[in-house]
Amino acid sequence: MSGLIIGLLTGLATIVLVRLLRFLDEHLIYGLVLCAIGFLYVGFTWTDSITAVASAVQALIFLLIAYFGTKHSLLLLAAGYFLHGAWDLVFGLWAFSKLLPPHYNLFCLAVDFAIGFYLLILNYGRISYL
């Protein structure tokens, strides 16, 4: 439960920080974050070859989603965060999920969903730039 709460607070803090740094390209920052969180799994799983390969494949998929999301569609970027949250849940069922820090999948799921919902709201114009 604490992983969910800390993840939600981390996601909200990320959103607030990016909003405060108005001179940055907000869409690019969220694309970079999506790319980075995909590659974290590679770092956690490198000691098991099969899991590391699966992690590398998902990281490359999220890199592509982040790239095309920042270039073409905020909705695609939001979908990338929701898909990464789904990956967090599925990976928790994987036999080698013990390679991750405790409660990491819940933490990352909360971060992903917080940012994903924010991007949906941003896309539909309910949040204006400060």
Residue type, 95: A
Distance CA 118, CA 95 (A): 32
Q: What is the mean pLDDT of residues 92-96?
A: 72
pLDDT at 129 over 70: no
| DSSP class of 128 | -
Under the banding of pLDDT at 50, 70 and 90, the label for residue 126 is: low
Under the banding of pLDDT at 50, 70 and 90, the label for residue 92 is: confident
- Residue whose pair of structure tokens reads 């390679």 in the numeric block: 99
63-66-69-70 Cα dihedral, nearest 10 degrees: -120
Q: Return the domain boundaries, the chain.
A: 2-123
User: Is the CB of residue 33 less than 8 Å from the CB of residue 17?
Assistant: no
Under the banding of pLDDT at 50, 70 and 90, the label for residue 127 is: low
Q: Tell me how crowded residue 55 is: count the other CB atoms within 10 A of its CB.
A: 25
pLDDT, residue 93, reads: 79
